Amino acid sequence: MIIQNNIPLKNKSWFETGGKAHYFAEPISIEDYISALNFAREKKCEIFTLGSGANILVSDAGFNGLVIKPANKNCEIIFSDNENNVLVRADAGAEIQDLINFCLENNLIGLEEFSGIPGSIGGAVFINIHYFNFLLSQFLVSARVIDKSTCKIEEVSAEWFDFGYDKSKLHNGNQILFDAIFKVKKVDNIKSSFAKGRSVEIIRHRENRYPIERTCGSFFQNFSPEEIPFEINGKKQIHVAYYLDKLGIKGELRVGGAVVSRKHANMIENDGSATSNDIAALARKMQELLKEKFDIIPKPECRLIGFDEYPLISRL
């Protein structure tokens, strides 16, 4: 396992900002992962597992530890039964769209609901990606994880992950996903063609509705009903973009090279000149405006990596 030094993370993040990783590894085999974890233990340094960089903001100072970017990327069918139920295994480093395409090429449907969402399998499971009424946890059957402290690999069930909205047990930081198994459905050519068309349409819809470059997607999580102390037209509005829209900040509010997207009020874009500090300062300004007008403070869906001090308003 080759451990690299001072590797830029700017080109490994969708925001295209941030500093360098002190140490950097791209493991493929289980032995590679164990070697990297042992290295981190010897150096007594922190570990950050990097997927496609689609949901992170890396500090301008970088990450003073070991960044592990999974490079195992295989997808394979491992089981099918007489009722056309199929199990597909995907490695942590594979892109979620690569898994979707692999399934559709083999007349397997279900996962196309997540078409166009950027990210690796590891990142998708970590955050339990969602789109409308679909959650990735609805398809996950089991997985293999590697314990960071013991280097032992364990096969775990879907229940082990304790999935929630933008949440999984992997947030504890004690394990790294190695691969995951998903349950999909085998269909005939006509139904498969319909699913392929649906995948294309979902991607087209996402690209028209959301920015697709130099952004992390939704920066803030939606609220739970318990977090909203008032009702609008007899109903609690949980979508943070609703409140951000009311501020009139789309395409207008900016800090340095960071600007609120014209397409979506809960998305921040880098105009090409932004620093991570610009983006964090803009996100904090958005929190302050929501606090001032509605007395609510959203928490980030975007993960903040390498910051010595938390740059946003904390709700703790």
Q: Are 66 and 24 in contact (CB under 8 A)?
A: yes
Q: What is the pLDDT of residue 225?
A: 93
pLDDT digits (tens, 9 = 90+) for 240-258: 999 999 999 999 999 999 9
Which tokens go with 4?
A: 């690299």
Cα–Cα–Cα angle for 246, 250, 255, rounded to 5 degrees:
115
CB within 8 A of 48, min separation 6: which ones?
Answer: 21, 63, 65, 66, 67, 68, 305, 306
Indicate the angle between helix axes 96-105 and 189-209, nearest 10 degrees. Answer: 150
Q: What is the pLDDT of residue 316?
A: 59
Structurally, at CATH architecture level, domain 4-68 sits in 2-Layer Sandwich (3.30)
Neighbours of 73 (CB within 10 A): 16
User: Domain spans of the chain?
Assistant: 4-68, 75-209, 215-305
Cα–Cα–Cα angle for 224, 229, 233, rounded to 5 degrees:
90
Q: Are 245 and 257 in contact (CB under 8 A)?
A: no
Q: What is the pLDDT of residue 132?
A: 84
CATH topology of domain 75-209: 3.30.465
Structurally, at CATH architecture level, domain 215-305 sits in Alpha-Beta Complex (3.90)
Which tokens go with 236?
A: 């609690």
| Stretch (H or E) spanning 249 | none
Which residues of the chain, if any, have pLDDT below 70?
316
Q: What is the pLDDT of residue 133?
A: 86
